[in-house]
Amino acid sequence: MSNFVEYIQQSREKIKLIAYFALILILAQPLSQMLAQGWEEAHLTRELIQLRLLVGLGHQAISISAFGMFLGFLVLMTIDPKKRWQAALLWLGTGVGLLVLQSQELLLGSPNVDLVAQFPILLVGAGLGFLIGGGRDLLQIQTAEALEFRRASKGLYLLLALLTVIGLLELHIQYPPILDVSSDGVALAQSSGSYGLNTEGLVFDVAVAGLFVVTLRQFVKYDAEKKFFILGPRASGKSLFLIGAYLEALEMSRGDESNTPLKPSQDLMSMLEALDRQETEWIVEATGRGELKQLQFQYVHGSVFPTNIQLSAMDYAGEYLDRLPDALTGAVPDEDMDTTLKRLAEGVSGADTLMLVVDIERFTNNEPLEISEYFSILQATDKKGVMIVATKADVLAEEFEEERGLEAHLYYDEFTDFVNTRLRQSENIDSLITETAGTTIHPVYYQTKVDDNGNRVPMRDDSGSVMTVGYDDLLERIGRV
Looking at residue 104, the DSSP 8-state letter turns out to be T
What domains appear along the chain, each with residue ranges and CATH number? 2-220 (no CATH), 224-480 (3.40.50)
On whether the CB atoms of residues 229 and 478 are closer than 8 A, the answer is no
Q: What's this model's pTM, rounded to 2 decimal places?
A: 0.74
Residue 255 contacts residue 297 (beta carbons within 8 Å): no
Question: Tens digit of pLDDT for each residue in 182-235?
Answer: 555 555 556 666 667 778 888 898 999 899 888 888 777 776 678 999 998 888
User: Nearest 5°: phi and psi at 339?
Assistant: -60, -40
Helices (H) and strands (E) in the chain, counts: 19, 14
Q: Is the pLDDT of residue 358 over 90?
A: yes
pLDDT confidence of residue 390: 94
Contact between 259 and 146 (Cβ < 8 Å): yes
Residues in CB range of 191: below 8 A, 6 or more apart: 176, 177, 178
From residue 371, alpha-carbon distances to 130, 363, 435, 439 in Å are 55, 11, 13, 16
Q: Which tens digit of pLDDT belongs to each residue from 121-159?
A: 888 888 888 888 888 777 665 554 556 788 888 889 898
The predicted structure's pLDDT at residue 288? 55
With vertex at residue 190, the alpha carbon angle to CA 186 and CA 191, rounded to the nearest 5 degrees, is 130
Mean pLDDT of the chain: 80
Residue type, 175: Y
Neighbour count for residue 442 (Cβ, 10 Å): 23
CB 301 within 8 A of CB 82: no
Q: List pLDDT tens digits, range 302-349.
A: 777 777 889 999 887 667 888 888 888 888 887 778 888 888 889 999
Distance CA(299)–CA(307), nearest Å, equals: 8
The secondary structure of residue 319, as a DSSP letter, is: -
More confident residue, 22 or 336: 22
CA atoms within 13 A on the CB side of 370: 16
Look at residues 312, 314, 343 and name the one whose alpha carbon lies nearest to residue 245.
Answer: 312
